Amino acid sequence: MIAGKKVRLRPVEVRDLEFCQMLYNDPRIRQMVVGWDFPVSMAAQNKWFEASAGNTTNLRLLVESDEGEAIGITGLWDIDWHNRNAMTGVKLKYGGTEGKGYGRDTIMVMNAYAFFEVGLHRLWGLIIEYNIPSLKSYIEKSGWKVEGILRHHVFRNGTFHNVYYVACLKSDFLAVPDAVDYVPREIPDGMHRCRLEVFQEE
């Protein structure tokens, strides 16, 4: 369990697969994200789940509200262990979650996990130019930077749209005023002293 201020991240379980399918197939979400594929069946969703077990370059995490309700998916895609970077993204369900700070909290806690637990140095992503909630959550609120524009990179609703190539270095994340709240403490309270006492007894 990876805890933010408003959300928690945990592994995806079999019981979440219907929720994942709903999220993936929701046309409101599909038109906001860069990745595109045919709608997924439950059989395809199950296959995806089985294939994801033990995958060390792709991590999917379920986003839960603090009441324990499944509200979204986030993760790390294409982890490059040598260059210590990965792609990331978030999808939250529509209906009751919008504008409550869940998106920004998910991004911040995912950043902290990637930089301080996984050991990555850089995260990157793609945002369609009209996705204002995503631009606000990543760029205005979470330390991410626009690094470039991919012209006419996606085709949605019959039109080509530009896409922002965005990224966040560990140092960009740490420059966010409340980043420190998300950084895991290195050693639990009291442990330094315990260690010292053991050492002195020896």
Ligand X SMILES: CC(C)(COP(=O)(O)OP(=O)(O)OC[C@H]1O[C@@H](n2cnc3c(N)ncnc32)[C@H](O)[C@@H]1OP(=O)(O)O)[C@@H](O)C(=O)NCCC(=O)NCCS
Neighbours of 105 (CB within 10 A): 22
* Nearest to ligand X of 69, 197 (CB atom): 69
* Nearest to ligand X of 136, 156 (CB atom): 136
Note the residues at the interface with ligand X (CB under 6 A): 29, 32-33, 89-92, 97-104, 125, 127, 131-134, 136-137, 141
Smallest distance from ligand X to CB 28, Å: 7
Smallest distance from ligand X to CB 23, Å: 9
* Nearest to ligand X of 79, 103 (CB atom): 103
Q: How far apart are CA 12 and CA 81, in angstroms?
A: 22
Q: How far apart are CA 126 and CA 166, in angstroms?
A: 6
For ligand X, the nearest residue by Cβ is: 103
* Nearest to ligand X of 181, 197 (CB atom): 181
Smallest distance from ligand X to CB 42, Å: 22
Smallest distance from ligand X to CB 109, Å: 12
Smallest distance from ligand X to CB 44, Å: 20
Q: How far apart are CA 166 and CA 149, in angstroms?
A: 9
* Nearest to ligand X of 91, 170 (CB atom): 91
